[in-house]
Amino acid sequence: MFASPLRQQIARRLFSTKVSRPFKDSKILLTGSQGQIGVPLADALAKELGADNVIATDVGHCKFEFPCRYESLDVTDKDHYNKLVKDNGITYIVHLAGILSALGEHNPDLAIDVNVFGACNALKIAQDNDC
């Protein structure tokens, strides 16, 4: 069966050789980069956007070999977080930092600080810096 002209036109648009890359000129700050999702995501972003355009962050020293720059960042430290975004011209924040349930059950105050206040910091900093 032959596709209608409209379907052919849509298919040409969707599967054209020119791929739109909306994040091409972006600088991305990735929090929680040493977690289960953060490690492969940092690799993929650095591969796609270039290592100079991605900053992987997490609390403490770096445990993995990242293809991009790594910075130590506690997401509850709003001043340091904001400075890192400002100084590096960050356009997107990918916020993955969080305390999972096992540790959070033993230390609920830490879980609230990181999960709630860390997320609030990410949103406020993104708003203040047009991210």
**pTM (predicted TM-score):** 0.81
> Is residue 2's pLDDT more than 90?
no
- Across 59-88, average pLDDT: 97
Which of 89, 83, 41 has the alpha carbon at shortest distance from 66?
41
Closest Cα to residue 68, out of 99, 40, 91, 96?
A: 40
pLDDT in tens, 104-127: 999 999 999 999 999 999 999 999
81, 85, 91, 94: CA torsion to nearest 10:
-30
Token digits for 48?
Answer: 């796609």
DSSP H or E segment with residue 91: none
Mean pLDDT, the chain, whole residue set = 89
In this structure, are residues 12 and 40 in contact, taking their beta carbons and an 8 Å threshold?
no
pLDDT tens, position by position, 21-57: 666 789 999 999 999 999 999 999 999 999 999 999 9
Kindly report which listed range (14-23, 67-76, 94-103) carries the lowest average pLDDT score: 14-23
Q: Quick one: DSSP state of residue 3? A: P
For residue 64, give the DSSP letter: S
| Mean pLDDT lowest among 7-11, 18-22, 56-60, 95-99 | 18-22
